[in-house]
Chains A and B, each alone.
Chain A
Amino acid sequence: MDKDKPLKAVGLMSGGLDSTLAAGLLRAQGVEVIGLNFSTGFCVTDHHRAIGRKDDDRNLRNEALRAGADAGVEVRIIDVADEYIEMVKRPRHGYGHGANPCIDCRIFMLNKAREVADAEGAEVIFTGEVLGQRPMSQHRPALDLIERETGLKGRLLRPLSARRLAPTRAEQEGRLSRDGLLDIKGRSRREQVRLAADLEIDDFPQPSGGCCFLADRNFGQRFHDLVREEDAGGRHVGRDEIMMLKVGRHFRLSPTVKVIVGRNEGENAFLDRYRPGRWRFAAMDVMGPVALAQGDLDETMLQTAASITARYCDTAGPGPSRVGAERYAAGGDLTAPPEETRILEPVAAPEALLVSLRVGG
């Protein structure tokens, strides 16, 4: 590392206040900062964009880009979804209450950050982590474990809590002033709000704690169910399967067959994009949901899927008398006609059966 060159740092930038402040503290010391934002496929806001109606007035901007623009920091968005999904299936350090492998997630992202840092000649790798804050990856033993497993000892800097942690090499060599770093600990956000005012950061998202699908219990149940399907010889759990976990009601008909029923117009349209390679069900004589079935369905399963589809039709009186079932070829585009078409007569699905088949909420 050339000690005459300005110090360079690469960091994880979610766009939340903490990572924005961490970058701001380094910029204030003249450090050249590159922010990384990893697209994992599990971001709740990204999903709301994909499924939202045109008149949905929630602010769904990308906060990492917003933070980069306001702080004068280059933010690179990197698509890591395929690799990340494989990590989430089998994390070494386990899950939280959903399917959230917070420690493995941190290790994954820091390893990715190190690759970028090495390519960019950046000595420091930083995060917006605060000692003792809520997620399970931010208590002291977890911070130490993450540093050890990533091999970033001496390079990994948490600017908001740095003075409570061992100094990095850049601090020891005097290239980074420890006085310009903070000693925040715990869940109170008072210090961060004060610092934001000092740095003139006034447009930032409030911490919501609900930004990752993996931390959601229902999603977690569906995710674990899907991994069991893969383990049972079912389809490989990839990006499409993960996308469909985010919508609808899910019913497990066998270890390798599942039905997903849309709950509203947005979810129906969303599911319809994934019909290639699957059976698609829809009532023929009343308004109702789109349902997709994955796996090899026998006659009984086709009938059950049709009955589940009929159960969720918008009708006060008798349900639909006919449900259309179409099987689409895998790999086809959305204009391709179905390979096989059936007309099924649904029967009333007992609630107890539905409850027993249901996966997650």
Chain B
Amino acid sequence: MSTRKRQDLASRRAAEDLTPHATLDTLGLYCPLPIIRTSERIASMGPREILEVVSDDRVILEDMPAWCLSTGHEYLGYREGAREWRLFVRRN
């Protein structure tokens, strides 16, 4: 069980020099839709490629790292914007 790992991951900030291979806009969508869209989008990407997910769902900072831990993708952290978060996921 990895409750601690999940909780630590949720507060991870993304590195400044991260450059995504693709961006997914999920503004206005609420969980589970951003996760469903992320799952669909990342399936079409190549191994180790990075997806940037833009979301204004306030629980995305908990749900995305949990989804990554569950599915084996790597959660690289988030950046905070004025009204949205940008989260980075590396495909496994």
On whether the beta carbons of B57 and A70 are closer than 8 Å, the reply is no
Query: Residue A145 at the B interface, CB < 8 A?
Result: no
Q: Which of A54, A70, A200, A202 has the most CB of B within 10 A?
A: A70
Q: Which of B1, B33, B62, B71 has the most CB of A within 10 A?
A: B1
Query: Residue A348 at the B interface, CB < 8 A?
Result: no
Residues on the A chain within 8 Å of B71, using CB = 68, 74-76
Give the residue of A35, A72, A77 whose beta carbon is less than 8 angstroms from that of B35: A77
Of A58-66, A154-162, A298-306, the segment with at least 4 beta carbons within 8 Å of chain B is: A58-66
Bound-state CA distance A43–B25 (Å) is 23
Bound-state CA distance A62–B31 (Å) is 7
Query: Residue A193 at the B interface, CB < 8 A?
Result: no
On whether the beta carbons of B1 and A71 are closer than 8 Å, the reply is yes
Q: Which of A50, A52, A65, A66 has the most CB of B within 10 A?
A: A65
**A23-69 CB contacts (< 8 Å) to partner B:** 24, 35, 37, 39, 46, 49-50, 52, 54, 60-62, 65-66, 68-69
Bound-state CA distance A37–B63 (Å) is 14
Looking at the assembled complex, report how far the CB atom of B81 sits from the nearest CB atom of chain A, in whole angstroms.
14
Return the chain A residue nearest B6 by Cβ.
A69
Bound-state CA distance A75–B39 (Å) is 11
Q: Which of B2, B3, B66 has the most CB of A within 10 A?
A: B66
On whether the beta carbons of B30 and A49 are closer than 8 Å, the reply is yes
Q: How large is the interface on A (under 10, 10 to 19, 20 to 34, 35 or more residues)?
A: 20 to 34
Return the chain B residue nearest A71 by Cβ.
B1
Q: How many residue pairs at the A-B interface have CB separations less than 8 Å?
A: 85
Bound-state CA distance A54–B50 (Å) is 29
Residues on the B chain within 8 Å of A314, using CB = none
Query: Residue B36 at the A interface, CB < 8 A?
Result: yes
**Given contact pairs A50-B30, A62-B66, A75-B67, A69 touches B2 in the complex (Cβ within 8 A):** yes
On whether the beta carbons of B65 and A62 are closer than 8 Å, the reply is no
Give the residue of A70, A71, A76, A203 whose beta carbon is less than 8 angstroms from that of B39: A76
Query: Residue B44 at the A interface, CB < 8 A?
Result: no
**Given contact pairs A46-B31, A77-B36, A72 touches B2 in the complex (Cβ within 8 A):** yes
On whether the beta carbons of A68 and B66 are closer than 8 Å, the reply is yes
Sampled A-B contacts (10; CB under 8 Å): A39-B32, A65-B70, A66-B6, A68-B71, A69-B2, A69-B6, A69-B67, A72-B69, A77-B32, A203-B3
